Amino acid sequence: MTLWLGEGPSRLPGYATHQVGVAGAVFDEDTGKILVVQDRNKTKNAWKFPGGLSEPGEDIGDTATREVLEETGIRSEFKALLSIRQQHGSPDAFGKSDMYMVCRLKPLSFRISFCPHECLRCEWMALTDLAKARQTTPVTRRVARLLLYGHREGFDKVDLTVRELPAVYRGLSYKLYHRDLPERYENMSGMD
């Protein structure tokens, strides 16, 4: 293997440099309510979206729905990626940089049965109240405003949807998150 790498400095990648945290913004469009929790740990008394660390080989949408179910008992469905935060030097990131992603989820159940080991409280809150709340994290407040904008003006303005595409490696695929393309660009046959 070292022959393949050649002479000079090693081209072997270092150890993992980031941890990946994912939260689920479970929004019920019919009632205008969003699922929020108060953490038992670092953000006590601050409303936030349920979430946690992604497991190796786990897609971010799957992480979001799993974490929401574990923390709140609510089943949900991935709709889109809403935001990505990158942070360095966080004391609780085990010496890694931190990527934190918030996904928009659709609720499939509504009865809360929260995990008392992780959460102090859990409830369905009016999205407009969360967007104005002072007792929340800056990320939560910002994403709540993004959701409110999407709900009022169309989620196509805020969502990063996912497409599974074939990888250059035979038999593999990957997920690409991006804003939706108009159909004429999606199917470019016959375009100049």
Catalytic residue flag (residue 183): no
Q: Which entry of 58, 70, 118, 123 is annotated as an active-site residue? A: 70
Note the helical H segments in 74-190: 127-132, 138-153, 183-186
Chain-centre distance for alpha carbon 184: 29
* Interacting residues of 169 by C-beta distance below 8 A, sequence separation 6+: none
Give the separation between CA 102 and CA 84, rounded to whole angstroms: 7
Q: Which residues pair with 24 in a beta bridge?
A: 103
- Catalytic residue numbers read 70
